[in-house]
C-alpha cells in the first residue's frame, strides 16, 4: 500500500499515465520505452479555461487519481498503479519530484503541476505557477512543493460556457482532496488567431472554430522517467 511515498519509474508500462488529443478525440497514448514516457508536440490546445478562466494550456502528462477505469482508458494508459496502491488524495504540502529532460521551445509557457478535484459536481483546478519545472536536454531532478500559500497558485476556472462544470473551489479543499487527476501541463499558452475573426476569440474555441499560428505555441518533446511524491502528515 502507498502511504507516505509514491514512486513511479515506468519500468513495466505507462502505469496509468496518459495524454489528450482533444475533446472530440480523447486519449493520447504516451510513447513508452522501459523506464521512460515521452510526449511530443503538436499538443491539443485546451480551451476549456479560456478567459474569463485563467487561459489556455497543453496537457503533457496526466494521471487519474481515482477509478474506476474503462477498458479504453486501460488500453491507452495501462494499469493505474497510483490507484491500485491506494495512494492518498491529500496533496497538501506534498513534495513532487520529477526526473525529466527534453527540448522545448516554451514561447512563454512553462511546465507546471495541475491538481484537480470535484466537489458537488463542480471541478476546480489549481496550477502551481510559482514553481515551474525546467526542461533541459540533460536529465535533471527537480522538486515542487504543494504549499498552501495561495500566492503560488492560479485557479483555472472555466470558459464562458463551461462555468457549470469548471469553476472555483478553495485551494485547500481541492489540494486536500485531489479526486480527479494530477497533471503536468504547459501554461500559459500564447494563442494567436490566424486571419480575421468574426467573433470573440475566447468565446470561439481556439484550434477548433478558428486556426491559430502554431509558431506562437510551445513546441518540442518532454521525457519523464521518475515521479516521486512524498506526502505530508497533515493530521
Residue 21 in any domain: the answer is yes
Q: What is the pLDDT at residue 1?
A: 58
Residue 196 in any domain: the answer is yes
Q: What is the pLDDT at residue 21?
A: 87
Percentage of the residues of the chain whose pLDDT score is greater than 90: 89
Residue 192 in any domain: the answer is yes
Q: What is the pLDDT at residue 168?
A: 98
Residue 68 in any domain: the answer is yes
Q: Kindly give the confidence (pLDDT) of every residue in the chain, 235 residues in length, as a single tens digit, with 9 standing for 90 and above.
A: 567 999 999 999 999 999 998 888 888 899 999 999 999 999 999 999 999 999 999 999 999 999 999 998 888 999 999 999 999 999 999 999 999 999 999 999 999 999 999 999 999 999 999 999 999 999 999 999 999 999 999 999 999 999 999 999 999 999 999 999 999 999 999 999 999 998 999 999 999 999 999 999 999 999 999 999 999 988 7
Cα–Cα distance for residue pair 132/145, rounded to 1 Å: 11
Residue 140 in any domain: the answer is yes
Segments forming the whole domain that contains residue 138: 5-230
- In the three-class reduction of DSSP (H, G, I as helix; E, B as strand; rest coil), residue 181 is classed as strand
Task: Calculate ∠ Cα 81-83-87, nearest 5°.
Answer: 100
Q: What is the pLDDT at residue 62?
A: 97
Residue 76 in any domain: the answer is yes
Residue 174 in any domain: the answer is yes
Residue 235 in any domain: the answer is no
Cα–Cα distance for residue pair 114/97, rounded to 1 Å: 14
Q: What is the pLDDT at residue 24?
A: 81
Q: What is the pLDDT at residue 23?
A: 83
pLDDT in tens, 193-228: 999 998 999 999 999 999 999 999 999 999 999 999
Q: What is the CATH number of the domain that holds 172?
A: 2.60.120.260
Q: What is the pLDDT at residue 28?
A: 86
Q: Output 17-23 pairs: Cβ under 8 A, ≥24 positions apart.
A: 17/61, 17/62, 17/63, 17/77, 18/62, 18/63, 18/64, 18/73, 18/76, 18/77, 19/43, 19/59, 19/60, 19/61, 19/62, 20/44, 20/46, 20/59, 20/62, 22/208, 23/48
Q: How many domains does the chain have?
A: 1
Amino acid at each position: 500500500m502507498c502511504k507516505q511515498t509514491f514512486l513511479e519509474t515506468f519500468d513495466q508500462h505507462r502505469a496509468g499515465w496518459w495524454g489528450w488529443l482533444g475533446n472530440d478525440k480523447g486519449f493520447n497514448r504516451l510513447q513508452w520505452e522501459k523506464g521512460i514516457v515521452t510526449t511530443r508536440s503538436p499538443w491539443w490546445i485546451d480551451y476549456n479555461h479560456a478567459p474569463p478562466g485563467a487561459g489556455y494550456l497543453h496537457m503533457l502528462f496526466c494521471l487519474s487519481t481515482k477509478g474506476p477505469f474503462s477498458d479504453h482508458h486501460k488500453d491507452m494508459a495501462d494499469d493505474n498503479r497510483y490507484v491500485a496502491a491506494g495512494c492518498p488524495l491529500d496533496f497538501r504540502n506534498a513534495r513532487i519530484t520529477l526526473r525529466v529532460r527534453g527540448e522545448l521551445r516554451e514561447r512563454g509557457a512553462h511546465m507546471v503541476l495541475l491538481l484537480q478535484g470535484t466537489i458537488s459536481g463542480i471541478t476546480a483546478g489549481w496550477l502551481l505557477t510559482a514553481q515551474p519545472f525546467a526542461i533541459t536536454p540533460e536529465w535533471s531532478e527537480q522538486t515542487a512543493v504543494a504549499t498552501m500559500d495561495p500566492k503560488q497558485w492560479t485557479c483555472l476556472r472555466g470558459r464562458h460556457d463551461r462555468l457549470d462544470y469548471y469553476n472555483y473551489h478553495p485551494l485547500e479543499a481541492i489540494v486536500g482532496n485531489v479526486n480527479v487527476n494530477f497533471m503536468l501541463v504547459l501554461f500559459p499558452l500564447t494563442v494567436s488567431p490566424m486571419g480575421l475573426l468574426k467573433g470573440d476569440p475566447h468565446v470561439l474555441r481556439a484550434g477548433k472554430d478558428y486556426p491559430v499560428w502554431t509558431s506562437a505555441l510551445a513546441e518540442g518533446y518532454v521525457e519523464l522517467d521518475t515521479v516521486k511524491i512524498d506526502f505530508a502528515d497533515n493530521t
